[in-house]
Structure formats: C-alpha cells, structure tokens
Amino acid sequence: MAPTFPVSIIGVGNMGGGMARNLLARGWPVSVFDADTEKAKKMEPFGALAPADIAQTAINSVVTIVCVVDAQQTRAVLFGAGGVADSMQLGRTVMLCPTLAPQDVEQFAKELIPYGLHTIDAPMSGGPSRALDGSMSLMVACGQSVFERHRALIEALSSQVFRISEQPGDGARTKLVNNLLAGINLVGAAEAMAMAQQMGLDPRQTLGVIEASSGQSWIGSDRMRRALAGDFEPRAHMSLLTKDTRLAVQAAQAAGFEGPLGTAARDVFAQACSAGLDGLDDGALLSWVQNHPRYKGGAKT
C-alpha cells in the first residue's frame, strides 16, 4: 500500500466531496473545510475531520487541495485572513484544482513562493462520480521533484493523470482547451435535440442513433439523457461552463487565436445564465434552446 500523509481539501461540493470520500476510502487522513458548513460535516461519517476554519484545516496538511469555484474564491482561500498561505508549514504544497485563467494560476504560484510553499496546477475533469471513484482526469503542471514527492496522492485522486509540463499555468491552459470543446459539444447537442423535436422526431431515439454514430460526444450523451428525462438537478452548474468558455476565449485571444465556434458557445451559455438557468444543471441548455423564440421555429428576418 502506498504511503499516506495528511491532506486537506478546501471546498467539498460535488467534486471536492467526491475527492475527499475517495481518499478517505483509500486510507488517507483528510481534513475538510467548506464555506457551507453542512457540506463539510457531511464528510465526517466517512472519516474526515471538519475543523471550524481554514487555518485549522490546513495547518498539519502536507498538501492542501483547493477545490473552489473561481479565482476570487481561490485568492480568499490562499491569502485571506487565516488562509492557507499563513497556515501551512514551510515546504508544503498547494494543489489548485479549479478551472482558472492561466495568468491567475501563474500569479498564485508566484505569490506562494515567499511563504515557502510549492504549487501543483492540477485542474480536474470528469464529474462527481469519477471524482468519487478516482477515475477523473487531472492535468498536472508542476516541478518534477514536487510531482514525484506527491505522486501517490495524485494517482490516488486520478487514474487518468496527464503530465502537462513543469510550468504552473499550463494545466489551466489544457483544461480551458478541453472545456471550450466541451461547451461547443454541449451547445451542438442541445441544438441537435431541439432540431429533432422540431422535425417531429423522437428525441430519445434520435439520441440513441447519435450515440452509435459520428455525432456522438460524451458530454452530449451525459447531459441530453438527463435533460430529456427532465432532470436538471445540478451535477455541473450552468454557471461553470459559462465561466469556463469565457476564460477559454480570453486565453485564446491572449495567444492570438480566434476560432469560429468558441465565441458562439460562450455567448449561448452567457445568455442561458442571464435567462435564469445559472443554478441548474448545464443540460438545461436543451430547454433554453427549445424555448428561445429565435430558435423555436427558425430565426425571423
């Protein structure tokens, strides 16, 4: 059995909670914190410690995994009063798992250096069930010595570890490329299902054909199956792909690239969120396309 050491996870929502339970089941000592105290307390029956604040959660951890939503929350967790940077011991490591802009990851890594802390840029993909069983993907960018020191933890979290580079920020870039394509695929799947319905086809049968044919995509199948069943309970909030497609387009523009579909997908998610779907599962995009007056009978000229 691989050696274990104390780990903390800040943010135990859908993904962070799955990661915590996975590690606990494998015998890792895990402390958790979440701004929603009920989420943290739900981890206690699985063996987690749930201290009252971030400082107590991180103080004895060899690695603190940050699993919050965005850069603003990440900064508060790392450098706010009683945050991770002030609490961890010299030589310990912070693992950044949210989808962030590359320049934010680079800045956080730079700012952690004076505290004597290392950074692992490790955005994740795969959804809560794969976080729970350890089969999610991690896109890892960090120094080689840091990677080797924490290889056992990384491989406990993910059976799909992609070693991107030694430069924090490159993991974020890779994740944004992936999530832009995920967003484009999901918009395309919602359009195709709405089109099938408008043509009088059985959408479930049509989706079955797509899943066995060239139009198949994992996110399309996963989200459209739920949407067609009227299940919009959020496994991945609409607001997340809204943020991710926006960040991806910004990163592309910073690199001097502008493709034909990214901005369109970004705008669709932004409009769906503005219409009040931000708290629903992103599969609810189907209902937004179905009911939008521009698409429901064709664009009017």
Catalytically active residues, by annotation: 175
**DSSP, res 80:** S
- What is the three-class DSSP state of 160? strand
Q: Is 17 within 8 Å of 30 (Cβ atoms)? A: no
Q: Is 245 within 8 Å of 263 (Cβ atoms)? A: no
**DSSP, res 274:** I
Nearest to 189 by CA among 213, 169, 210, 168: 210
Nearest to 33 by CA among 58, 15, 14: 58
Measured distance CA(278)–CA(232) in Å, rounded: 11
Measured distance CA(151)–CA(143) in Å, rounded: 12
Task: Cite the beta strand spans of the chain per DSSP E.
Answer: 7-10, 30-33, 63-66, 93-96, 118-121, 124-125, 137-141, 160-165
**Which residues fall within 8 angstroms of residue 24, CB to CB, at 6 or more apart?**
30, 43, 46, 47, 48
**Dihedral in degrees, nearest 10, Cα atoms 13, 19, 22, 28:** -120
**DSSP, res 89:** P
- What is the three-class DSSP state of 93? strand
Number of residues that make up the chain: 301
Please report, as a single letter, which amino acid is at residue 267: D
Both tokens of 99, joined, read: 């989808």
